[in-house]
Each structure stands twice: as C-alpha cells, then as structure tokens.
Chain A
Amino acid sequence: MRVEGTFTVRAPRERVYSFFLTPAELSTCIDDPHTIEAIDPDHFKGTVKAGVAFIRGTFMWNATIKDRAPPERAQLAVHGAGMGSAFDLVASLDLSEDRDLTTVQWGADVQMNGTIATVGARLLQGTIDKKTNAFFENARKKLETA
C-alpha cells in the first residue's frame, strides 16, 4: 500500500529536516499512546498502542534511518509487530525550499500482515490515511509554532 502527500510549512529547511530525524520531536506528532527511544543516531525503537476499528493493541517497533542527505532527503525503514500482526514501511522525505517556506514531499510504502490486514482490511487504507495526515498536520503545526 502506498501513501504519499505534500505540504508546505513556514520554517527553514534545515529546521524541518532536523525535526523529522529527531525522535523526541517526532514523538510530539504521534497522537496514539507510545514510547520512543533512540538507540544510536540511526536507530530508534519503541511501542505504540494503535489499531483499526475495534482491533487495537500494542505494537513494538524499531526504525532505521537508511539514507541521510541533509537537508534534502532521508529514508526511514520501520518494522513493527504485535497482536498477531506485523507491519513494514519504508518512508521517504524530500524537502525543497522557497524563501522561508519548506515543501515536504513524503511517501511511504506500507505492508501490513496478519490480523489487522485480514480483519481490518476494509478499513485499513482509511485508517492509515487518517493517521498519516494527522501526523504531518501535527508536524506542520509544531514547526510553525516553534
């Protein structure tokens, strides 16, 4: 499943880039209850309590930054598992700057497996769209109010 989008934020590109690669800052954009812990600059892990419709539970996840090209591009791979389900996603960020505006072009290939993909299949796309949009909207607000 592919999800992608673009948004513009009134913040310098370096600041936006740093924001998305700093676990503590990312944490402020996730609405669902979660933990996040940096293992080293390229690896972090945590938990998130999430789900689709009534299928909810705690996922354990770990993330690896696969590609850094500051302040323009980054790629992140995330694997999560829990409640009879697993997900893998590869997310990319491409940042471009125009005066004081930074345009964030993001995309993610998401593969869901197990109970969530099976029982929640009908609701999956909508839920992922909703959560992703909420994440980036939170990020935009944080960046513009910081």
Chain B
Amino acid sequence: MTVHGGIGQSIKRKEDARFVRGKGNYVDDVKLPGMLYLDIVRSPYAHATLRYINIEKALKVPGVLAVIRGKDLEAANLAWMPTLMSDKQMVLPVERVMYQAQEVAAVVAESRYAAADGVAAVEVDYEPLPVVVDPMKALEPNAPILRPDRKEQTNRIWHWEVGDREGTDKALKGSDVVVKQHLYIPRLNVASIETCGCVASFDAMGKLTVWMTTQAPHAIRTVFALVTGLPEQKIRIISPDIGGGFGGKVPVYPGYVIAVVAALKTGRPVKWIEDRSENIQADSFARDYHIDAEIGATKDGKLTALRVKTIADHGYTDAAANPSKFPAGLFHIITGSYPFEKAHVEVDGVYTNKPPGGIAYRCSFRVTEAAFTIERMVDVLAQKLGMDPAELRLKNFIPPESFPYKSALGWTYDSGNYPAALRKAMDLIGYDALRKEQAEKRERGELMGIGISSFTEIVGAGPSHTFDILGLKMFDSCEIRIHPTGKAIARFGTKSQGQGHETTYAQILAEELGLSSDDIAIEEGDTDTAPYGLGTYASRSTPTGGAAAAIAARKIRDKAQKIAAHLLEVSPADLEWKDHKFQVKGVPDKAKTMQEIAFAAYTNLPPGMEAGLEAVDYYDPPNMTYPFGSYICALDIDKDTGEVKIRRFVAVDDCGTIINPMIVEGQIHGGLTMGLAPALLEEIGYDENGNIQGGSFMDYLLPTAVETPKWETAKTTTPSPHHPLGAKGVGESATVGAPAAIANAVVDALSHLGVTHIDIPITPWKVWSILHEKGVA
C-alpha cells in the first residue's frame, strides 16, 4: 500500500502553487511602515587609498537621511567583520579599497530613488595604488603586499596539501606514460534570478529582525551576534522565499551589516536590495582555480598516480565557506572515479585585488573544479595513449565490489557502480555508432566530437568529527509536531532556494509516518521557530535534513507504537509498522493509523505517558555521500564560425534513493544548463586595472533556451548504505559533471588536428582561432 505523496512519487511541487501565480514572498516584497532604503557608493578603483569622503552634498539631497562611512562603523568596532574562513573583511573601508565595486559608503533615504541620488552626490577622493590582478604575479617577491594587516607579509593566504608526495613522485617517475596539462577554470557569477538584499528592523524592545536572502539563516544569526555584540536571542533572521542561491547567498555581505547599522541609526526599518551589476561585480564568485595536473599510467592504460598543484585566487580576503579543516574545500575528491594508488594535491590560496568569495555556484566545496580536472585529464591521457576514452575509463573505474572504497586522498566512498552508469549512457546515445559517424565525417572534413564525463561527487557535509564552519558542526535538523487531527508541521534547519523542500521533505515524512504529504506543512528559514541547522548548500539538504526528517519520524513512530498498543490492548512488541500503519502481527485488520494515534496522543494516552506527538533530530551523518554519473555529449563544430552545436547530451545520474523523480529530473536539467554555461559562455575577466570586463548580462553570457540542447536523462540507483533512506543528494551533480563532457567533446572534435586542450569557456572565437591557425577555417 502506498501513501499519498510518499517517496518515489512524482507529485507536483507544493510551493509552485504560489510561485507560478506570482504569490511568492521574497525579501523585496517585504514592506514595513516607515521603511527606508539603502544604496551603496562603490569604488571605481580596484586598489586605492581613500583620501576623503565628502557627504555634505549627499545629505542635502531631498529625502536623504544619513550617510554611513567606514569611520562611522569604526567607532562601533564594525568596520571589519569575520569571514566564514576566519579571515576578516571590510564592512566599509577606512583607509583603502581593495577591489573595484567595493562598498565605500552607504546612503539611507526615504525612497530608493533618493538613495541613488544621494549615492551620486557623495564625493570620494582616491589615490590609486598598484593593482594585483594575476594571482601568479601576486606571489612574486616584489608584488605589493595587499594585506599588510596580517602578520604574514605575503599574498599567500595559506598552503594546503594532502596525499603522499614522495610516493606520487616515485609512481610518476616509474610510469610508462605521464601527461601534464595546465587548466584554468575561470571566475564565475552565480547569476541567480534574485539578487541579494535584506530588510533590517528593530522593535521597541530592541530585538532585531532581518529578512534576508540567505541560504544559512542560523549560521548568519550566530555571525551577526558575534559581529554586532547583540545577544543571539535578540536577533531573528527570516529567510523568506529565495530566488536561487547556488552558494551565492551563503556569505555575510557588507550590505547586510550596513542595513542593520542604518536601522539602528535611524530607528526605522531599512531595506537594501542590490542591482544586477552590483551582484555580478561584488558578490561571492565561484572557481578561479589555476591548475597544473599530471597523470601517470602504464602503456596499456592502467592509471598509476595523480599530482595536482593549484593556485586559488580568493580576491582580497578569504571569504569562502569551506569546512575549517579544508581551506580548498573538498578539492581532493579529485581522484574521481579511479583507484589511484598514489596521489598528491597542493593548493595555495592567494590574495588579489578582486572581490572575495570562492564557494558559490553549485560547486559543493570545489568539487566541480576537481571533477573537471580529472575528467579532462583522463581524456588528455586517452589521446596520448591512442585509446578510446570510454575504454580507458571502463578499464580503470573503481570496481563496484570495492565499496566502501578509501581513496588515495583519504575519502571513503560509500557506494557506486561506475561501469553500469557509463555503459547505460553509451547504450542510450549509441556510442559505437557515433564513433563510426565521426570517422566518416572526418573523412569528409567535418568536425564532430564525442565527450565523456564519469564524475564522482562528494556531498552531504558533514560528519561532525571532520566538518565544521567557524566551529559550528555541520549537522542538520528536523522538528516534527503531529496535531490531534493527524495533520503535521515540520521545521528544518535547512533553507530551500527553489529546490522544492516543501514537497520532498513532506514526501519523506509521508512515507515514514503514513500521512498524506498534503497534510504535512514544511517550514524553514525562521530562526525563531526552526531548529538550528547549517543551511542548504553543497547538495546537503537530503543527506542531512532529509535524514533528520526520517530519524525524527522514526522517533515519533516509537512513541506512536506504544499509543497504538494501548488503543489495541496489545503489547507494543506485538505490533509491526506495515503498510503505513501499526498492525497486530499476523492480523492486518487490527491496526491503527497515524491519524488515529495522533488523536489519542492528545485524548487517550497510556497511563504515565506525556501528551503530544513530537520529535526533533539533529542528524550527524556518519559519512559523506558520493553521487555519481556518466554523461556523454555529441556535438558538431561549424568550421566557418567556430560555433559549437551540441547535438545530443545523455546524462545518467545515480543519486541513490530518489524522493521525487520529477524534482530530481528538474534539478538535473537545471544543473546541466548551469554546466553548459561555464563550458561555453561564462567568465568574469579583469583588465590590468582590475576593472571587471562584463559587469552586466550584456557581456556576462548565460545560456537561454536557444543555446540549451535537449537533455536526455536516465538513472541508475545505488543507495547510500549509511543514509536512513539511501539517498545521496543531486542538486549539484549535473553542473559538476557537464562541463568536462562538453569540453572533452570539443577537444575530441579537434583532436586529429593536434589539439589536446582548450580552456573553458570554449567560445566560438577560441575555436575559430584554433581552426584558423591549423589552416582549417
């Protein structure tokens, strides 16, 4: 017997009833009586000394009530704030600006228009300083020291390494074949539909409420308490509907803090909403990794060792949000789907005159960078060996029987069946026929490429023994209350930004409690009501929050079993949970539903039992989860224009147990499109003066329906053995796996011309230039 809206059912998303009718409630929809508006003066220079800030004219603009500068904040010890990586970040500068578009001052006014006029009237005098844009140059001995406030007088933030250096060196020296490749994975913007913003308001008792675009409201509350000195119980963070996060709404932005100060200063609510250009120019970025990778192999294609050295450009402060023990995130998942016996990874974090960030964009702690590198490198090796890239992968995959598998860099993969996923993808796309077609086209001088990516992800951060952010352990939580009529509410420490938690969490609870998912309300994002949690990012909601839901539901079932036994006048041991109700073993007709038990929990309890039917669980996962997949892309290249046209793209994903197949498919479609974007279109570049080249959607290119191919999706199912439901998480898989498949396909199309690598984004200009150089175009 199935329960309505249980696990595995493609029910429609509950939240869409309001979203598709324009009834969502986003931060910019919050309107409070007497609310003021905040706009920000931003630096035109990437590096400059502040000579003075003249606010007299701005204060004379009609409607302007206040202008806040760094020195105003300094008096309250708020000019700097800690980052989530224990570095520090300016809220507003006092002496120097460190990147173009950095916040310099803030204007508070009666209307958004008056605030913008006030911003235009603020006069700032700058003395330009030498700009450091290139992280490699930042490490040169004579480079200007960008952070003289640090004890370490270098632009190197940290050096981190993992693995067996000597063993890897030896294994590479002993390998028949070694391939090396430099890869640049460019800086990206998350480009969520909703930009960042907040509304800050103090009540008469001095309690601060902030409606905020945040993916992690509880962690933000704690950071706010630490930064402002306000008692944590007097801070309420409400994260209403969020229009896309992708990691860009994890950090604490200066605008949030300034809005709180402005509300305190004026005694009125203050709203700050950034515009699109501000979002692209100043918000948390993704990627910006400069990677040198080497793979060794035997001459018959058996992988031996992997060595990776990386320069990570963090901008002027390390404001990523990696677990404390892993400054380069989970980049060392870079051994991917292959059983390297030896591996060694080094990463150097570097300061430059760019905005901080480094965690955003569905990257799950640098996993995209890792997956792209290993999957690109396997193709580089295949090309060197003259082997088919599918054959090379199938020859080297971690065997299904090896799980749980411990990698050379220390991770213990929970489960996987990589050959099954790749073979399924090859069957679906007709791999052998495509190779035959490619050979025929090459004979005719046409350019066709086939690219594979067999990626392994690592998500679900994370086990408390290893994972924390600023000391906060990375558990997550669920609190369930079942009402007397058998309806329920459940609150979570995570926060949906469009993933569909109101539906999927309700489906988990429906399955576990025997209630209809329609009868279960899901709430997230209000720190006054939801249990503490670390939020939603890095595909962690189902692995942590979803697990907490299952465990909390099972705690409720424990109590419900006793109540059912009381109602049925049997021993609890005589009951079994079957067909979503408690029934007497062997007597299916003698049973109690959860609705009946819930009513009894308030009306007819066993003697000595307290009333109510509630439970809470703070789930500390025993391990990470390891979703995986195999993607194959077939594309054609226009020789005359360099344009890449993706003809087919087959994505086989394995995220363990699936809660809602329709939502998972939607996640994969979105993720694939977000993987297509960096492969072919997206890049934030800088000129030598530190000006962003492409601070609007005129230049920062995103795929539209025109550029997006028809995605063909399929699945294999390999449940996680340690997750209560066997689920693994899927939010990021597609964007992690797709870029390498596309890049590999483009290089494959040009491989007969001697091309071994092209850095992403692979623009028509790059392709045409290569074709022109090779005498083809």
Q: Give residues in A with beta carbon < 8 Å to B.
A: 57-58, 60, 81-86, 88, 111-115, 117-119, 121-122
Contacts and interface: CB of A to CB of B under 8 A. Distances in A.
Given A83-B120, A118-B691, 5 more contacts: A81-B44, A111-B689, A115-B695, A118-B694, A122-B698
B696 interface: yes
A118 B689 contact: no
A121 B44 contact: no
B691 A112 contact: yes
Closest A-B pairs by Cβ, 5 of them: A114-B44, A118-B695, A117-B691, A86-B44, A113-B44
A128 to B, nearest CB: 14
Contacts of A57: 120
A132 B128 CA distance: 25
Contacts of A58: 120
A111 B693 CA distance: 14
Nearest to A112: B691
Interface string B84-120: 0000000000000000110000000000000000011
B699 A114 contact: no
Given A113-B100, A118-B101, A118-B281, A82 B695 contact: no
B698 A119 contact: yes
A117 B689 CA distance: 10
B698 A113 contact: no
B45 A114 contact: yes
B687 interface: yes
Contacts of B310: none
Contact of B691 (A60, A82, A114): A114
Contacts of B696: 118-119
A64 to B, nearest CB: 15
Given A57-B120, A111-B689, A119 B277 contact: yes
A84 B693 CA distance: 15
Contacts of A121: 687, 691, 693-695, 699
16 contacts: A60-B123, A81-B44, A84-B119, A86-B45, A88-B128, A113-B691, A114-B101, A115-B695, A118-B100, A118-B277, A118-B691, A118-B696, A119-B277, A119-B699, A121-B687, A122-B699
Contacts of B694: 118, 121
B692 interface: yes
Contacts of B699: 119, 121-122
B277 A115 contact: yes
B122 to A, nearest CB: 10
A8 B41 CA distance: 44
B112 to A, nearest CB: 16
A113 B42 contact: no
B651 interface: no
A21 to B, nearest CB: 26
B695 A84 contact: no
B43 interface: yes
Nearest to A122: B699
B46 interface: yes
B120 A118 contact: no
B126 interface: yes
Interface residues of B, number: 27
A122 B696 CA distance: 11
Contact of A119 (B41, B119, B124, B695): B695
B693 A113 contact: no
B277 A85 contact: no
Interface string B14-54: 00000000000000000000000000011111100000000
Contacts of A119: 277, 695-696, 698-699
Interface in B660-705: 687, 689-696, 698-699
B545 to A, nearest CB: 39
A103 to B, nearest CB: 32
Contacts of B45: 86, 113-114
Contacts of B101: 114, 118
Contacts of B42: 84, 114
Nearest to B696: A119
Nearest to B41: A84
B220 to A, nearest CB: 28
A84 B699 CA distance: 19
Contacts of B281: 118
A111 B689 CA distance: 8
A102 to B, nearest CB: 35
A85 B44 contact: yes
A113 B46 contact: yes
Contacts of A86: 44-45, 126
A60 B702 CA distance: 35
Contacts of A60: 123
Nearest to A83: B120
Contacts of B691: 112-114, 117-118, 121
Nearest to B42: A84
Contacts of A81: 44, 123-124
Interface string B55-68: 00000000000000
B504 to A, nearest CB: 39
Contacts of A83: 120
A96 to B, nearest CB: 33
B255 to A, nearest CB: 15
B43 A114 contact: yes
B120 A113 contact: no
Nearest to A114: B44
Contacts of B687: 117, 121
Given A117-B687, A119-B277, A84 B698 contact: no
B126 A118 contact: no
A60 B687 CA distance: 24
A114 B120 contact: no
Given A57-B120, A82-B120, A83-B120, A118 B46 contact: no
A119 B277 CA distance: 8
Contacts of B698: 119, 122
A58 B123 CA distance: 13
Contact of B692 (A84, A85, A118): A118
A57 B687 CA distance: 23
A92 to B, nearest CB: 21
A81 B692 CA distance: 18
Given A57-B120, A86-B44, A122-B699, A114 B126 contact: no
